[in-house]
Structure 1
Amino acid sequence: MTPDKRPNPDRLLELVRNESSEFPRGHLKIFFGSSAGVGKTFAMLTEARRRQSEGKDVLIGVVEHHGRSETAALVEGLPVLPLQEIDHRGVKVREFDLDGALARKPPLILMDEFAHTNAPGSRHPKRWQDVEELLDNGIDVYTTLNVQHLESVNDQVAKLTGIWVKETVPDTIFESADEIALVDIPSDELLKRLADGKVYVAEGANKRAAENFFKKTNLLALRELALRRTAERVDAQSDELNAAMGQNEAQVGQKIMLLIGPDPLSTRLIRHAKRMATRGRAPWYAVYLQSDRHEQLDEKGRTRVEQYLRLAENLGAQIVRLSGARPAQDILAYAQQNGFTRIVVGYRRPKWWLRPFQSTLAQALIEASDGMEITVVHGATGQARAPLQPVDALRPFLARPLDYGLATAAVALCTLIAFPFRDHTPSNNLAMIYLTGVVVVAARLGLGPSILASMLSIPAFNFFFTDPYYTFNFYDTYYYVTFAFMLVTSLVVGSLTARLSRHARLVSNRERETQILYGLTRGLSNERSVEMICAVAIKHLSGPFSLDVTVFVQTLNGLQTYPVGAASQDMREMGAVNWVAANGLMAGRDTDTMPSARGLYLPLQAESENLGVLGLTARNATQPFSGAEILQFEAFASLIAGALQRARRSEQAAEAKVESENEKLRNVLLSSLSHDLRTPLTVMNGSVSLLLRMRKELPRKAVDELTGLWSQLGRLQKFVGNLLDMAAITSGHMKLNFQPYMIQEIIGAAIGRAQATKGARTLRTQISGELPMVRIDGGLIEQVFINLIENAFQHTDDNGEIVIYVEKDADRLRVRVSDNGTGLKEGEEARIFEQFQKGQTLRSDRSGGTGLGLAICRGIVQAHGGMIYAKNNRSLPGQSDARSSAGASFIFTLPIATATAASEEI
């Protein structure tokens, strides 16, 4: 059986939706090269000038020509955005003006040196983040990048050239680019350009750069890296397209787990795993096991872990934090439960004096893995390992001096407790009192003080409780065995107790986080007003985390602050708040956007709707937010956003219910009033008609008055009829008599009825091709044509032109009633179909309508399964001349009658 290779419709629809988004993202094109001097900026400017010649508005944001005449010549004639000046420690630094670019909002902007680091005080630390914001605002960007600035190959470049590149770009940004243009020249030609002075290097560094970087072997290796990275991206795009077309769906790919720790080797592991995932086109996850050893890390170690996790996230990894006391078993269990096929782990050979006592995680995983593929990266090469300080080896034993003093006091206390029992019980039994003391010290003070307590317990026991007393001598040799077992037992028990205590603290922290989350969820679920929701959020977050919490709720009048009046007067803080509210992204302290702000600001988003901003300011300004805390805050923000959305939906539901009841009451009143008015109006119309037949017997002035009265009675009767039709439509009681009709017959009847009010206006019909029959209620559709024609009469001059266009469109008939009158006001296209809404006319003496005609048209067309809308003629395709582009068009569709239905009803 031939496999079905047709495109997957769901995937294709997703691609189309991405391309036709209401707010389309700008396109990013990267001019990519192996090193400086290959001509990336020149190629970018050449392409920009070509686009300008095609009519594209091109703006130079940043271009560095470094005095090269060929490049500088290409800049001439292109508009340049002035750079902004930033005062950094008394020095004026010129940087890209992001706000100026957003205000100008050009279709295309040029941004040289994609990996550039912005000066402190800029909105974003990196230029690529500026580019991301430009793209989010629908601006296309051209930029330049060298392969050595890609984060995933940073260690490879350092190994090849001996130079660590500090300015890097996450690979996820490179991979998300819409187009990569590889700019490549032979290495010999690049060396010649260097000799001719056409390659920019830092002042005073020409010789060093030529010797250490611009070697032919290095250039060849960098060129190979650039070509390979470009080829990998092309392969990834091909796979994505094949997946969208429904191919390769059954292939089972890899799933990579990377284990991260506080060791600097983690940076090499991250880049290695990224390259592995790119080559295998596999998802990868960076996992950090937060065991009891995490509690032993100092502040620098924990900071390194957060930096490594952020690096992995920037390179495209999913971040996972696990908790457990058995590293190898917990990691393997998680890997098997979540379908990982490979685990990447680092290995460093322990010091010779630690090998008998220390087992590495890599060894434990290899021994415990059951068919799982383990990739071990040795730490002997690559990035140099940070030297192991003696304090690192002794860190588990470090504690405050006070803790060691308390451990000594605990031994003294045990001695005092045991002393009264010295003459009443064998001395060996008293050793248990010291063991108890060691356990208490280990549980409360940690491993180091417990070891001290163990070491002090032996001489104390010997001095006070073995014969001869108050000396360190003893008569019985079996005390050697007692002392040895007492020491070993106390050390083992103390170590296990200390470890159990650390694990208990870890579990306690997790329980505390769960309690906070539960309390916040429960508190939010009981509230329905915005004020109370914000009060609950502030109450549950401010205390446990020692934070000043502010909630900014989006309203029609801007951001409403809770607690009221708590808005910061600092322009930097409010700038961060407004940016988060506008962009829906996190900003502020310990982030990549406005990191100089004192507070951390998170968007309150639910179902892609931005409801406000959550502001968190630490009372201890020197304590940074950890990655785990930021993840918690994001979870809290999600809960608060869900509660705010629920409150807003409740308000909208209440308003809708009131509106529905009002609508029902209005329809009842309209129907009742219309029925009550119809009979006397009919009598009055008949009486006036009878008097007009007797006009020969009446004075001229009376005849004129009766004629005017008869005309107004006709208008009033028509208004009452419209009210009855509107009541029938809104109540759902309208009965449709579907029959097959030729649309030409309906149009002719409507034109005939409209001739009396046409005046000098031109009314014509234009039909494209042969039209099929339509299945409609003829009387109602005729009323639609009459209402639209009379509406066109009211909005055109006496010599105006109204044209009715009819054409077949797939399984529908498309009708357009077009005039050359005043047209529609901006934003009026949808509103005019509501009840009692009237468009404006140019002439003040024109009476206009009642505002029900178009609403009736919409109700009738929708009852037929069609759609109706209005547009100004200038927004329609094919309206080139000034006369045809004036005025407005009302367009509606009708279903075509099938041959079977037409034959049965005929």
Structure 2
Amino acid sequence: MTADQRPDPDKLLALVSKDRGDGAPDTPRRGRLKIFFGANAGVGKTYAMLSEARRLFAEGRDVVIGVVEHHGRPETLALIDGLPLLPLREVSHRDIRLTEFDIDLALERRPHLILIDEYAHTNAPGSRHPKRWQDVEELLAAGIDVYTTLNVQHLESLNDVVARLTGVWVRETVPDAAFDAADEIALIDLSPDELLKRLAEGKVYVAEGAQTRAADNFFKKANLGRLREIALRRTAERIDAQNDALSAAMGQAESATGDKILVLVGPDALSARLIRHTKRMADRARAAWFALYLHTDRHEALPDKARRRVEHNLRLAEKLGARVVRLNAGRAASAVLTYARQNGFTRLVLGHSPQPWWRALMGGRSLSQKLISQGAGLEITTLSADSAEDKAEADGRTVAQALRPLPYLMAVAATALVTALGLPFRDVVDPDSFIMLYMTAVVAVAARYGIGPAVFTSVLSVLTFNWFYVEPYYSLTFDRVGYAVTFVVMLITSLIVGSLTARLSLHARLARKGEVETRLLYDISRQLGGARDAADIGQVIERHLQTVFEVELGLWYEGQQVAGKAEHDPKELAAVQWVAQNRQMAGRDTDTLPTAQGLYLPVSAEQSVIGVMCLTPTETTRQFSGAELLVFETVATLIAGALQRTRQTALAEATRVESENEKLRNVLLASLSHDLKTPLTVMNGAVGSLLKMRKKLPREAVDELTALWSHLARLQKFVGNLLRMAAITSGQLHLSFEPYLIQEVAGAALNRIEAMRGDRQIRTLISGTLPMVRIDGALIEQVLINLLENAIAHTAEDGQITLSFETDADRVRVRVSDNGPGLRPGEEDRIFDKFYTYGQQISDRQTESSGLGLAICKAIVEAHGGLIYAKTNPLKDGVGGGASFIFTLPVVTSGA
């Protein structure tokens, strides 16, 4: 096997991890999805799902029924009996009580496997997600396995195919991406004859209120056969895709053709068919596909309903797996071909509608005709409207766009205005001079209303000029043949000028719009650079977005609202929490919590959500366009960068202050310890001399001198610790490494603390043969002394202290344990900090802690390359407790 033929380990690992349901080590496990897939209702999907669930339940798996539509079938009810059921959630909609799957209860219960029937079901209004498949996605993200059922007619890409077969449009659909992402597809197949027999026996349920025509069409034998064929083919396509992925991982050639498909999307119903057709084409060819929408002058003329349909079509394409591209263009055909060739597309898919008679008379060609004639080297597929409804809609939209009344009324008004301005001078000025007035009207109308009204103004100007300025007046006749040439030239010139003006006006409007967005992002980015905290960031964003998009801003940072009007609506706060947890957009105009007033976007940085941005339009009925969503997502990215910068700035400032404080503490420690050392030595010597003459002193004086000597000794010890800590923190601690037996060092330390242990019992335990360690003996002895003194201070007079040694690979582990009160929760990480004292000292000796002993131990052990930590001892049968301090030291290696 050559290097090129070897399996790709990363791809194999990804396939195995997906098959096992494992994720990356630092990511939570994703649940596994199994879909019981069939060609039609009644083939036995729910029965098969319940049978599999009962088998797993009998094996001890935690199986729960989330929702199962049994429709009163006895055999289905028998399978449900005995399985745990989650209560359904009641929803009130228009005074009607509905029951829905309770996703919050399922997430709280967290079973290993949950059954969710009818994958394509539409949830009641007010639910978190409009569709049940979105509930399933959230369960899978939480690590819960799901079994569900689905009919082939509910797949989004096959929706129009099924409609042509049966005459019924299925409104409840599931994106193909969700179907393809399933871990397992179980095809439940049944022959048409057997299904018709089940229907005759009353075993197939038809939804209440369904039209009789729909039921009849679905259950015709011919249609059942076609639906069965579609289901089998769709399952086979999925298996082919899995085999291709495995072949690629094994280093074998993939069957993909390398095609790249571009589909043109518009505001018509045909675009939805184009998108679904391209999805099926891309699946068969294993090709990447894109959906392109051209933002031309016609977009500006579209009514609100048509613009909403454009957004719907683009979202449909995105839901089916396409990458959406929006392109500003003046000349549609040229822009499409340039984009396709520059980006390596091999196929174009577009719709074709017959040209209206008036455009055909003018010699105009459709976009599809222009692309076919100019698209050399590209494979171009066109789909025509194949129904009277589609054609009527296309023709009606074209006529409506062409005959909108206001632009043409304004054309008439402009022509009338220039005519009225010129009439008083008709007898003193050459008539040909008035042509420029009409050209001005053409230019003004073209700049404001586009090419259609400009053409109308051109024709109207020629007629008006003839009527009012050419003799004989007030007729469309003329007495000189030369005026015929004048009229033709005037018409051609006005058409050219009007067309160019309309295009330049469109480009100017698009440029202004792009400039506004660019200026907005530039201003936001520039002003965010000067923001000091999250509140300043929120004010900057709110000021700019409110001006341009007329929205109210809300900003949450690390769980707290830092900008915008305080939010108290539970539904809105639930959207904030959901976005923060799931790192996805939610709220209005989305598929999650669509009834919320605001649009919520995650503010993500370094693979985590640090905030949530909310945008609420001041006009409640307004819908955000796809272009606006792109701007909002860009703004969210800018906010994330600014919040990270402020966080890093605050952290750097805190680090700088802490560093300065640490330097100041070290200077104070050094100066204080050096300044105290000499006078303490003198005082200690003087008190010692006086104590030598104790026989000559009164009893009271001797007692006071003894107490003073004890306090001076403790103070000298404290100063000694200060000196050691100052040496450690200043980097002046020099270690002299030599091989030692740790038992000998421990024996010296035990001798040093013998006088202060009192009646406490100190046990020494050695596990196995201890190797020699490479240490600075004096410093490790000091570590043991500090730990033993600490244990004595926190142990009762009759307590017990254990000093134990054991070998751990290339380390020796030393443990000092006591049976005192132990550590408080959370103290394990703090007790080694300087000047931190823990617990309650229960020794009756004067051993008050300075809070430096354990800090010195930590510094010395880490300087040896070891590790030191503390933990509370567990209780066993009511005996034990206390704390243990453990540190490790490297052993002497051969040749050292």
* Segment of structure 1 superposing worse, 887-896 or 637-646: 887-896
- Cα offsets for 1:227-261 (capped at 9, x unmatched): 32541453365368569xxx989999554433322
3-state secondary structure, aligned to 2:262: strand
Corresponding position of 2:415: 411
In structure 2, what residue type is equivalent to 1:813? R
Corresponding position of 2:328: 323
Q: Count how many residue pairs are aligned between Structure 1 and Structure 2.
A: 879
Counterpart Cα distance in 1 of 2:404 and 2:58: 72
In structure 2, what residue type is equivalent to 1:616? L
1:552 counterpart (545, 551, 555)? 555
- Cα offsets for 1:91-138 (capped at 9, x unmatched): 111122233344445555443333221100112212222233344445
Give the C-alpha shift of residue 690 in structure 1: 8.1
CA spacing shift, 1:226–1:10, aligned 2, 3 Å: closer
| TM-score under structure 2 length normalisation | 0.84
CA spacing shift, 1:600–1:773, aligned 2, 3 Å: same
CA spacing shift, 1:82–1:887, aligned 2, 3 Å: farther
1:450 counterpart (454, 460, 463)? 454
In structure 2, what residue type is equivalent to 1:657? R
In structure 2, what residue type is equivalent to 1:724? L
1:284 counterpart (279, 282, 289)? 289
3-state secondary structure, aligned to 1:388: helix
CA spacing shift, 1:289–1:677, aligned 2, 3 Å: same
In structure 2, what residue type is equivalent to 1:856? I
| TM-score under structure 1 length normalisation | 0.83
- Cα offsets for 1:346-387 (capped at 9, x unmatched): 23252474567344444544544464x435142356997353
Counterpart Cα distance in 1 of 2:554 and 2:666: 43
Counterpart Cα distance in 2 of 1:828 and 1:50: 49
Partners of 2:256 and 2:286 within 8 A in 1? no
1:212 counterpart (213, 218, 232)? 218
Partners of 2:187 and 2:235 within 8 A in 1? no
Corresponding position of 1:463: 467
Counterpart Cα distance in 2 of 1:820 and 1:222: 75
Corresponding position of 1:348: 352
* Segment of structure 1 superposing worse, 55-64 or 477-486: 55-64
In structure 2, what residue type is equivalent to 1:554? Y
Query: Is 1:234 the equivalent of 2:237?
Result: no
Corresponding position of 2:811: 813
* Segment of structure 1 superposing worse, 720-729 or 301-310: 720-729
Counterpart Cα distance in 1 of 2:475 and 2:536: 72
Give the C-alpha shift of residue 296 in structure 1: 2.6
Corresponding position of 1:374: 379
**How does 1:587-626 map onto structure 2 within 5 Å?**
587-626=586-625
Give the C-alpha shift of residue 542 in structure 1: 0.9
Partners of 2:22 and 2:30 within 8 A in 1? no
Counterpart Cα distance in 2 of 1:733 and 1:58: 65
Gaps of 5+ in 1: none
* Segment of structure 1 superposing worse, 691-700 or 135-144: 691-700
**How does 1:80-99 map onto structure 2 within 5 Å?**
80-99=85-104
* Segment of structure 1 superposing worse, 1-10 or 672-681: 1-10
Corresponding position of 2:158: 153
Give the C-alpha shift of residue 714 in structure 1: 6.0
Corresponding position of 2:658: 659
In structure 1, what residue type is equivalent to 2:457? A
In structure 1, what residue type is equivalent to 2:125? P
Partners of 1:347 and 1:360 within 8 A in 2? no
In structure 2, what residue type is equivalent to 1:86? V
Partners of 1:725 and 1:856 within 8 A in 2? yes
Counterpart Cα distance in 1 of 2:881 and 2:24: 29
Q: Give identity over the alignment, percent.
A: 52
CA spacing shift, 1:435–1:86, aligned 2, 3 Å: same
Partners of 2:823 and 2:872 within 8 A in 1? yes
Corresponding position of 1:507: 511
- Cα offsets for 1:636-673 (capped at 9, x unmatched): 22223322332232222222221211111112222333
Partners of 2:793 and 2:842 within 8 A in 1? no
Counterpart Cα distance in 2 of 1:886 and 1:113: 57
Partners of 2:153 and 2:162 within 8 A in 1? yes
Partners of 2:793 and 2:843 within 8 A in 1? no
Query: Is 1:855 the equivalent of 2:855?
Result: yes
3-state secondary structure, aligned to 2:3: coil
In structure 2, what residue type is equivalent to 1:94? T
1:397 counterpart (376, 393, 402)? 402
Give the C-alpha shift of residue 12 in structure 1: 7.2
Counterpart Cα distance in 2 of 1:276 and 1:744: 78
Partners of 1:34 and 1:146 within 8 A in 2? yes
Partners of 2:36 and 2:147 within 8 A in 1? no
Partners of 1:788 and 1:817 within 8 A in 2? no
**How does 1:794-805 map onto structure 2 within 5 Å?**
798-799=799-800, 803-805=804-806
Counterpart Cα distance in 1 of 2:728 and 2:414: 89
In structure 1, what residue type is equivalent to 2:502? A
Give the C-alpha shift of residue 717 in structure 1: 4.8
Partners of 1:291 and 1:324 within 8 A in 2? yes
Corresponding position of 1:634: 633
3-state secondary structure, aligned to 2:727: helix
Query: Is 1:432 the equivalent of 2:436?
Result: yes
Corresponding position of 1:759: 760
CA spacing shift, 1:679–1:186, aligned 2, 3 Å: farther
3-state secondary structure, aligned to 1:152: helix
CA spacing shift, 1:413–1:58, aligned 2, 3 Å: same
In structure 2, what residue type is equivalent to 1:376? T
**How does 1:69-148 map onto structure 2 within 5 Å?**
69-106=74-111, 108-148=113-153
Query: Is 1:263 the equivalent of 2:268?
Result: yes
**How does 1:240-255 map onto structure 2 within 5 Å?**
254-255=259-260
- Cα offsets for 1:256-296 (capped at 9, x unmatched): 43332223232233333334444555543322221222223
Partners of 1:82 and 1:97 within 8 A in 2? yes
3-state secondary structure, aligned to 1:228: helix
Query: Is 1:731 the equivalent of 2:739?
Result: no
Counterpart Cα distance in 2 of 1:777 and 1:474: 120
CA spacing shift, 1:685–1:18, aligned 2, 3 Å: farther
Counterpart Cα distance in 1 of 2:85 and 2:185: 23
* Segment of structure 1 superposing worse, 205-214 or 151-160: 205-214
Partners of 1:350 and 1:358 within 8 A in 2? no
Query: Is 1:534 the equivalent of 2:538?
Result: yes
Partners of 2:788 and 2:816 within 8 A in 1? no
- Cα offsets for 1:299-336 (capped at 9, x unmatched): 22211111111112222332221112233333343344
In structure 2, what residue type is equivalent to 1:87? S
Partners of 1:746 and 1:778 within 8 A in 2? yes
Counterpart Cα distance in 2 of 1:200 and 1:428: 80
**How does 1:689-728 map onto structure 2 within 5 Å?**
716-728=715-727
Corresponding position of 1:309: 314
Partners of 2:600 and 2:613 within 8 A in 1? yes
Partners of 2:794 and 2:843 within 8 A in 1? no
3-state secondary structure, aligned to 1:764: strand
* Segment of structure 1 superposing worse, 496-505 or 659-668: 496-505
Partners of 1:765 and 1:803 within 8 A in 2? yes
Counterpart Cα distance in 2 of 1:699 and 1:13: 88
Give the C-alpha shift of residue 297 in structure 1: 2.0
**How does 1:834-853 map onto structure 2 within 5 Å?**
834-840=833-839, 849-853=849-853
Partners of 1:751 and 1:786 within 8 A in 2? yes
Give the C-alpha shift of residue 7 in structure 1: 6.4
Corresponding position of 1:483: 487
- Cα offsets for 1:15-41 (capped at 9, x unmatched): 899835556154132233224455554
